Amino acid sequence: MLDTIGVIGPAALTHTGAARLAFTAGAMTSSLLWFFALALFGRTIRRLKAEWVRHVARLSAVFIWGAAAYLLYAFVRSITAA
């Protein structure tokens, strides 16, 4: 939901006419493919050892915390630059 409202929505506003339609179709297609790939990965990982799954979970947590830190950094930088 956040990516739709915060990223894709404003990006779509920069396009007009056929370009907006193409952008919308591309965003929908990539979203569908991404979540399909996540489902396949989840199905595959279910068969793997629990230890390996924990490593993937840790890697995912590091990625999410890194993204959160970057967003906080960008926010702080934007309000101090104004």
Confidence of residue 2 (pLDDT cuts 50, 70, 90): low
What is the DSSP track for 23-50? HHHHHHHHHHHHHHHHHHHHHHHTTS-H
Tens digits of per-residue pLDDT, 18-52? 998 898 889 889 889 999 999 998 888 777 777 88
* Mean pLDDT for all residues in the chain: 86
Please answer whether residues 45 and 56 qualify as being in contact, where contact means their C-beta atoms are separated by less than 8 angstroms. Answer: yes
- Domain boundaries along the sequence of the chain: 1-47, 49-82
The angle formed by the CA atoms of residues 69, 23 and 67, to the nearest 5 degrees, is 5
Q: Which helix (DSSP H) or strand (DSSP E) does residue 3 occupy?
A: helix 2-3
Residue with tokens 């409202």: 5
What is the value of pTM for the model shown? Answer: 0.51
